[in-house]
Structure formats: C-alpha cells, structure tokens
Amino acid sequence: MARLSLEDLIAEVLSQSDMAAATATREAFVSQADIIRKINLELSELYDLLVTTWADYAIRHPAPTITTVADQDHYLLPDGFFKLRGLWEVDGSSRLPVPAIPFHRLHWGSAPGAGRILEIHMVPEFTPLVDLREEVNWGTDFSLPWGWEDMVIQGAAARILEKEESDPTPALTRKAQVRARILSAAPTRDESAPEQIIDVQRDLDRLLLDSSCTDELESTLRYCISGRLIYIREE
C-alpha cells in the first residue's frame, strides 16, 4: 500500500514534467495551487474508476446512522454521500438488510414508527487534498495500492506539459497503460468470493425443501433514494 502525501505527489509530478529544479521557470507557467488542482482532478478520476468497480475500495467507517421519527418517511442523506453499498436495520445485536423499492411504490405501506435505527454503508464523495502533508485516503481507511499513483502523476504531468505547450503524448500514453492495468486488477479484490459465482444447487435445494424459506431474514422496512433524500417505508 502506498502512503502518499500531497507533497509527495507534487514532487513526482514536477519530476515527470521536467520542472523539479527550475522553480522560477516553472512558476511562470504553473503555480503550486494550479499543480494541486491538476493533481486533485486526476485523483478524482482514479477515485471514480475505483468506486465504480464496486470492490469496496472506499467505504466510510463507522457507518452513519438514521433514527426514524414518528410520521416521517424521508431523511437527508449523510454529508458527502456518493453511493450506497447497503442499508441495514440495527435490531439489538442483529443487523437486517433493508431492501430497495422503486420510486413508484413509495405510496405503499406507511411511515415507520419512531426509534428504528438504520446503518448507511456508503461510498463517500471524493474529497480534494489541501494540506501538503495530507495523505491519499479519501476520508476512509483506504490506502492506494503501490504503483496506482502513477496514473495520477502521469495525468497531472500531461496537463502541465500541455499548458506549457510541450508534447504530453508520452505522459498520456503511460497514464493509459496504468489505467488499463488498474481496470484489469481493481474489480476482483476478493478472489475467494467473486460476485458472479452463485451457488445454484444450494438455492434449488432450499426451494425444493421449503418454498417459503429465504436466504436470510430481512427488515420489514424498505427504502428508495431520490436526490438528496432517502425514503423509508414499512410494508
């Protein structure tokens, strides 16, 4: 895992764009603030690449919670919410999955009673780096796998070279190579339990033995996300 700070990334980007030693010349073309902006643009691209693999590279811990209020069926999503990975009702020491419903079913059922606790397991939005000592972890316990930072470095260097009216092609080519490698490696984070494998025989046996059984207990609550709100209904 690479423990990289913003300061580390700036040094690498300047080295790749051949501006590490020429401070006065470099600042005539690009300020440190502009370099940081370019790095954050590249980091946000890498972040989107990783979180859309659904391999849980950035999950907020601890999970934010919602406690229901009587006669209310909608709540603001937590600050920084980007994607939902799971909604669970906390029932004592147990956690029950809460299934989703489509928007057109929001008029079914009723608002839940007060005091129901829901855990929101979420991917947070990308947060730009600001402090030079700040590390790339996106507000979670995530550490960037070693070597993947090169996509950011090459991309930011290409932006600087383009602004300087130099040829960014070599840097863009290297960025594309690293990006392809990440796309190949990122989706299968847990090789022991790939999501595409389904135990069909187990499900068939359960169906034949008891047509009313389900794989696991689930909450009586249902949810639907719309805009900045999450709707909670009880069916």
Assigned token pair, 52:
């859309």
pLDDT of residue 44: 94
Cis peptide upstream of residue 62 (ω within 30 degrees of 0): yes
* Cα-Cα-Cα-Cα dihedral sign, residues 204, 210, 216, 220: positive
pLDDT of residue 102: 92
Share of the chain above pLDDT 70, in %: 80
Q: Print burial letters for 61-86: b (CB count within 10 Å at least 16), e (below 16).
A: eebbebebeeeebebebeeebeeeee
Q: By the 8 A CB rule, do 88 and 121 touch?
A: yes
- Of the CA atoms within 13 Å of residue 42, those in its CB half-sphere come to 30
Task: Look over the chain and give the mean of its residue pLDDT values, rounded to a whole number.
Answer: 84
Q: How confident is the model at residue 22 (pLDDT cuts 50, 70, 90)?
A: low
> What is the phi-psi region of residue 93: left when phi exceeds 0, alpha when psi lies from -120 to 50, beta otherwise?
alpha
pLDDT of residue 2: 60
pLDDT of residue 53: 80
Q: How confident is the model at residue 78 (pLDDT cuts 50, 70, 90)?
A: very high
Domain boundaries, the chain: 1-188+218-235
pLDDT of residue 209: 46
